[in-house]
């Protein structure tokens, strides 16, 4: 059985046990508050704008801890300011795209977009639509590929958005490689969406105009991704990279315990995690037309932690 066949065969909604485990996300909020002083050691940013988009049926209230953390790290953080995320596709054209361009015009700098769950799908669509104003995309448990019904929330999505889960036209908006660097943060114990639907495809060679992409595994519930310590550190690390450079995520030695070790079992998920690996240090990205980037000297994949 090929890796791709095995992946499709396991694209099923998370089990009832994992779904019930989502209740423990509230415990994580206590850990977030208790460790706030320690997180001041996380990498600081350069002040560029960061747009944070919440998940389905969530509002900016759900991203308060995440945005507070990023603001503390020195970023110009912006909530999406649209109330509850209903998943309706017109939100991108009517609100998000104009807001993204406004943030770029106001700062004169490309905007990083952090999207949680459904918010990550919108973040990917924005990067496809306006790559010239997007610095990078970071998704948190966002099911942008695979079976749309490999989720415990697909019926809710249909009800709120008025769209049919699995509609090929809708899936095309979110899937495929992006023209800007992207990091997909995911968890195998996600109780809402199948984790295999939340990772970048590294089996198929990326098109020439595709930018670097990676997968970062954490141990978190879906509802806890917005305040989990491993997620916050990875966010700070990814956003702190100098504009126009990119290197795969590698946690410091003292924090490797927070990230699952590499998986090498066959027919599960490739260890290759990035489309391009620039090596242990950041190297400049070269533009290939407006908003399109590639690594200056692509090399072998680093094989870290995608599982």
pLDDT value of position 285: 54
Give yes or no for residue 284 having a pLDDT over 70: no
Whether the predicted pLDDT of 189 surpasses 50? yes
The answer to whether residue 125 scores a pLDDT higher than 60 is yes
- 304/24: higher pLDDT: 24
Residue 303 has what pLDDT? 32
- Residue that is written with structure tokens 């994949």 in the block: 301
Residue 217 has pLDDT above 80, yes or no: yes
What's the pLDDT score for residue 89?
81
Question: Is residue 126's pLDDT more than 50?
Answer: yes
Higher pLDDT, 150 or 291: 150
CA distance 212 to 138: 12
Segment among 92-101, 189-198, 221-230, 265-274 with least mean pLDDT: 265-274
- pLDDT, mean over the chain: 80
pLDDT at 263: 61
Rounded-to-integer distance, Cα 49 and Cα 110, Å:
7
- pLDDT score recorded for residue 28: 67
219-238 confidence digits (pLDDT tens): 999 999 999 999 999 999 99
In this prediction, residue 293 carries a pLDDT of 43
Answer whether residue 287 shows pLDDT above 60.
Answer: no
On the question of pLDDT at 101 being above 90, the answer is yes
How high is the pLDDT of residue 185? 98
Q: How confident is the model at residue 278 (pLDDT cuts 50, 70, 90)?
A: very low
Least confident of 109-118, 256-265, 267-276, 285-294: 267-276
Looking at per-residue confidence, does 117 or 267 come out higher?
117
pLDDT the model gives residue 269:
36
pLDDT of residue 15: 84
What pLDDT shows up at residue 63? 96
Rounded percentage of the chain residues whose pLDDT exceeds 70: 77
36-80: per-residue pLDDT in tens?
667 778 999 999 999 999 998 899 999 999 999 999 999 999 999
CA–CA distance, 216 with 199 (Å, rounded to integer): 9
What pLDDT, on a 0 to 100 scale, did the predictor assign at position 274? 42
């Amino acid at each position: 059985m090929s890796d791709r066949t095995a992946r499709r065969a396991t694209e099923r909604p998370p089990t009832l046990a994992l779904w019930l485990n989502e209740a423990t996300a509230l415990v994580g909020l206590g850990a977030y508050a208790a460790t706030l002083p320690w997180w001041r050691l996380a990498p600081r940013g350069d002040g560029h704008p960061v747009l944070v988009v919440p998940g389905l049926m969530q509002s900016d209230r759900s991203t308060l801890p995440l945005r507070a953390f990023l603001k503390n790290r020195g970023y110009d953080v912006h909530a999406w300011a649209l109330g509850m995320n209903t998943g309706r596709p017109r939100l991108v054209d009517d609100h998000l795209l104009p807001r993204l361009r406004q943030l770029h015009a106001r700062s004169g700098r490309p905007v990083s977009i952090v999207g949680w769950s459904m918010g990550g799908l919108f973040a990917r669509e924005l990067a496809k639509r306006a790559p010239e104003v997007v610095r990078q995309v970071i998704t948190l448990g966002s099911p942008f590929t695979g079976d749309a019904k490999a989720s415990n929330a697909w019926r809710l999505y249909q009800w709120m958005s008025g769209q049919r889960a699995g509609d090929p036209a809708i899936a095309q908006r979110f899937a495929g490689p992006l023209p800007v660097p992207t990091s997909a943060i995911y968890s195998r114990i996600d109780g809402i969406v199948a984790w295999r639907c939340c990772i970048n495809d590294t089996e198929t060679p990326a098109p020439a105009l595709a930018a670097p992409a990676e997968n970062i595994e954490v141990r978190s519930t879906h509802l806890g991704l917005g305040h989990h310590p491993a997620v916050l550190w990875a966010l700070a690390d990814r956003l702190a990279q100098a504009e126009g450079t990119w290197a795969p995520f590698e946690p410091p030695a003292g924090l490797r315990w927070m990230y699952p070790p590499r998986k090498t079992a066959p027919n599960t998920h490739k260890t290759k995690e990035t489309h391009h690996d620039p090596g242990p240090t950041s190297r400049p990205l070269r533009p290939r037309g407006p908003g399109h980037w590639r690594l200056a000297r692509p090399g072998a994949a680093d094989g870290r932690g995608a599982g």
